[in-house]
Structure 1
Amino acid sequence: MIRGWENLRNWVSAEKNLELQRRLTPEAFKWKHSPQSGLLWNADPYLDVLRKEFLKSPDCNWFNQTELEFVQRSIQKKQRNVHNRWRGAIAVITILIVLLFATWRGQRRATIGQMLASTQTSESLLQGGQLTFDALLNSIRAANLSKQFRWKPSPQDQAEVVRNLRKAVYGVREVQRLEGFPGTVAEMFWQGDRFYVVTIEDRQTVTVWDAETRQDFALALPEADAEQVEMSPDRTRMAIASDDGTVRLWNWQQDTQATVEYKPHGNSEDSYVYQMQFSPSGRLLVTKGSDEFRIWNVVGNQVQFPNLQRQQLQGRLVGVGFTPEGEMLRVFQTNEERPDEGNVTIAQLVDSSGKWLNQLEMPLPGNIDQVDFSPDGDRIILYSGSETTFYSSVLEWHWKDNSGGNPYEQLFATNSLAFSSDGSLRATSGFDVGAVRLRRNSSIETEEFEAHQSEVANIAANADGSQLATESTDGTVRLWSLEPLPLSSQPLADSVQTVAFQPNSDQLVFQTTDRILHWHSGVESKEAPALFNTMQFSPDGQTLAAIAEDGTLHLMDAVGNPLMDAADNPLDFRNAESKFDSESNLAFSPNSKQIAVLVADEWNLEQPRPPRKLATVDVASGNVTNQNVGFGSIKQIAWRSIDHRIVLAVSGAFNWLQDVEGESGGDYSIRLWDIESNRQFAAPLKAGVRSTITSLSFDQSGNLMASADEINRIKLTYLDGTSMTEFQLEEDSIQTIILSPDGSKMATIAENGTATLWQIGDFDQLISQGCDRLRDYLQNPELTRRDRSLCNNVPPAEPAKTN
């Protein structure tokens, strides 16, 4: 039976081979007589069967010579074709990968280009003083583009985006933009915290608009041509002057019609009202006609004539105002002809009884055309020389100033001016298209920014001077915040000696006066080998350097363990020539391999003063290199990561070549000197700051500086002098200020050892803060769809908290 099955299987196999041979033989001989590759088998399914037969026994099979050669050549052809197809497929895949990479790289370059372009646009606007939503919008756009990368932009590009974003968030002042009002804007005012805009449409309708709700209160004047309005001090009533000289009083929140109307200057052809002003109580309204003033008692509907007292001075009444207590002040113009000076114009001030108070000789000839009084009554604005919009001479007269100095300030070309109700702020415009100048009583400096691209037609300030409203000639109204953006703070600890921030993390370490090192989170406290005056992490975050009170430089790892040398001794460095200055800060090189520190100044009065020296310590070998860096007061060392420069922050007189007498010299500026070129390259704080700097700190890039001064004022300033924010503390004087490497945090230590941690904002926090400012503006339909959706997925920022 078994032999039968075996014979049957051999017979079946022989029959198959015979059938295959009958098909193969004619094809093989045909190829033999006409050897063409096209006659070889390639896709024939029998080729795989023949291949198995050949591979099974190359030397023992039923193929004759011709068949064998045909099969071998067919197998080789098929293998070549398969290899060619694989090579083609691989080539296509490679080309596709290269094309995809090139496309991705091109898109990445294009995105980086858009990101940098938006950053540069924002930076240009900010540097040009255009502190508007446009600058913040471009900055947020760049920040969003930088977050789209799977692989982040270069550290330099990313740092530029973050720096600009922080500058925009803290520098942009615009808080609201209002457009599309019917008619012309006649007045802007605040009532409490609410802001209102008054418009006159077709000279027939006066409307008060609530800026937040857009609710309107309208008064129709079909038979009168309204020209100007004036708000009462409590903002409940409005005086409306028409071109026929009629003045109407309107309680705009309660009445739909004017309650009282009067023609203070009669029915003559020259009865036009040029100027109106309420008394502080709102009971009196002063109006100015062509050449006379009237005082209208709006409660008793009586008219007074302040011109009656002018005979005492033989002059022309040019202005009427009030003190905060309601006493009337009047300004008369008199003229004197002098041999050497010609015609001299004199402004004379008298009180309500005619008593002479003071006088001012005008620096330029010409009539006084208009007079305005500050709310506190201490300053008088005198416009003279022209009846046109741009006055040739505008003076602010400080009439109570009897110091003997110049009692006035020249305001140059001014066509719009506003005071805050408390008199603390003065805002002016007209000297440059779209520009606004701010001056506070507490400062000798004038601040300027560009509010509009076109001329500023109107300015208003709120009661305490924290907000400003401007209107341009195209009718656009913008609200500005004049207060710095507040920082969140939290107490850190008491009895703190020094603080250090670890780069690229939220970790910080501080040492208390008992020599214990404390980590903000996650690391066990431990005792340090000495009491440190300052500590600094390396840029890679792996090394903590500290300088002790005896001038010894200590090196520790990231968790405070001392680093050891080959002999298992702590790595404590001392200067062979002179000890390190225990009051110096420490500055790591960007590669974390070197530390810059000042050498102690051991000069005494009996010797010529030597130059200050800077030591550079090699962390690995301990080698110390000293170099002279000049004469003067060095406040801080910075080793900038952005360009690897070592720069010195100096105050007072400073010289690289010789000693300077009186090095403070009353100069409270901070300037940066590059030790490689021996040149000053930046002045973040100008000499106008009249307060001694007690502590300085820089971020790792060297572009942001934090300073504390003797009056407890904290300032964050960029190298170009732009102020990021500024505030004053009420507690004990600040002894030390420390800025984190990325500029997102700041620590302050008071003289009593109390340490406070301040949140300036990391990248995501800054985006949230910026978006919170922009959300209302992003509803503007004139913006692109992409811009309107910039902040869709951005969570709101946490409100600033101060403990």
Structure 2
Amino acid sequence: PEKKDLVEEVIERFTNARLLVNGVDADGNPYVEPAHDALVRGWQKLLEWKQDDEENLLLQRRLTPAAVEWNSQQQAKFLWHANPRLDLLKKVLNSENNWLNQVEAEFVRRSIARKSFNTRRNWGVAIAVMLGLGTGLVFSLIGQRDALIGQIKADRQAAEANLELSQELEASLASLRAAKSIKTEWILQLLKPNYELVNKVTVTLRTMVYKTREINQWNGKIVPKIGNNISLNSKGELMLAETNKNGNITLHNLSQNNYVQLEEHKGVIDSGIAFSRDGSLIATADQAGKIRLWNLEGNKITEFFTEFSDKKLGRYSPTLVFSKDGKQLAIVELYFTGSLGFRMIDTISLWDLSGDKPRRKQPSQNFESYKGIGFDANNQLVVAHTDLGGRSSDLHLSEFLSGKKLAVFKRNFEGFESTNLIFSSNGKQLIMFDRLAALDNQYWHENIPAINFTPSGNQIFYKKDSGIIGIANLDGRSLFEFKAQQGRITQIAFSLNGELLASAGTDDTIHLWNLIEKQLIKVPDQRAIQKSNIFGTVSNSINSVFKKEDHLFGSLYVRNSSGKLLFKTDSKKQNPYDAYSLSSDGTLLAALDSDSVHLWDSSGRHLLKFKAYENESIDNNKIMELKFSDDSSLLVIEQCDSIDYSIGDCTPFKYFQLETLDELILRGCNWVRDYLENNPNVEESDRHLCDNVNK
């Protein structure tokens, strides 16, 4: 009513001003219109109103008859639930400037409700269809997977049958088909086959590889024992450099579980290997006196000879030390003089690595009373030595290049072995002979053990013979300790940020520790986990292996916990085995005699015999033990004292790494490759069996 009165007042005023005129149409209905069209065209404000509401006016002209028709028919088909203008009308309905009348407003509400209902119904139908299709797809995939697994089982059984008939070629093709299907069929990558099937296929392929005459030889890796060269690179990854009897070096990235070979050596010396502080460079020295620099990818960067590498000098024992910035390399070379070779001299040289090729910074210096070297906080090489004239046994620290005397520590150091000098970041303290020393008062703290500084330099790390590592204040007060190794610690390495610590010990294990969280970080390499976690008991279903001394003297019988005989070996050995072990999955039995390792499969078939020792020195007073790792990937020979043997505490002597399924496929393919490529009678499905297997 208020708006009606206002409209009538406006019309009256406009009419009195002769801007509007009143009239009646043919049906007798009153109307109002502008007195002249020019008034409309010239009235700018009215034009703006008209333009602003033009869309609404057009919409209203279409909406009104539709709403009236729906109101009279009351049927859903007249609603605007499918009209694209419904969203705009919904905004009008919910706005303050709602120009809809009662019928139009109800029409819009019913249209919105109908659209919502249809949307829910359509989604329900769509979901039902998708579920139906998805279920069908899943069942289809499962069906394909089951069919493929059935084919794999058939191929494996065919391989086993051909092995029994000594038809090695047919057995090879069938076992390779089964193994390749497991490794390459996409559906089995999506829907994994069970472990039992993969295990059986691996056993069959391994049996084929080991039983085939042309390829019946040990091809697993002989894992070298852990040396004393570990490092943490700039990424915090654990690196290990190992030497073998041929003088080659294997560089392991234990965090990534891969390795590269550093070739070209002639008798690498264990002491002649060093990592740079950030772990990005490796320096090596061989018995010919050649120094080589390598990157972590195993690429040789440069090489050079030192002047004191003459073979006539007899025993040659170099020590390599990088500066903290990795731009210098100090080399300490030990050799003997005199006709009887009883006089020992250490020669020190310093090399600049920042140029295109290494450059000696100044002539080498000889030290008959050398005790150690190290780089200070300013990357200056410092040498520790007793009095060169032999007048006292005090320890002198001098800068190598300038000869400047830095400190003298008053004590008898004559009988001490050589040491690394480790300087704190502030240059006020250093560590030598595993003890803390102060440079300002030139005092060596015999009662404060230390092996390195924390990054801040305000605390120290120390170790104990029992395998414990601790952190202490500079006054020696311990803050906390943790058990790092089961035996004596032989080497420790720190990451650049000081958050990670790697330790190696006489128990032949390497551990990686997070010092911030005080937690052990598991490293993929088997040997980097505590021995108690590596070599455990076998599974519950197969847990007893023993010798039966009857007419099959020396044969091995395998029984389960109930005493049921599972299998026995077919060997008629005249002498008993020294040791034996069953893999945790029950697929391999290993036995050790005086010089060889024997392998049998779970049916008792003898697979392989290979040399257990290659020029290693065997202590006849030791008891030899044989064990599989928990995942059956490693076989270890252990040496045990009689006392240790009774409590199961033995020292690993030699490791053998068994071949993976991929490696077995490679060996099998290498044997049948020529046959597949050149024999015209090969089925087309088999001809490309090994195409994507690298030679």
Is TM more than 0.5 here?
Answer: no
TM-score bracket relative to the smaller structure: 0.3 to 0.5
Q: Which has the higher helix share?
A: 2
Q: Which has the higher strand share?
A: 1
Question: TM-score under structure 2 normalisation?
Answer: 0.45
Question: TM-score under structure 1 normalisation?
Answer: 0.39
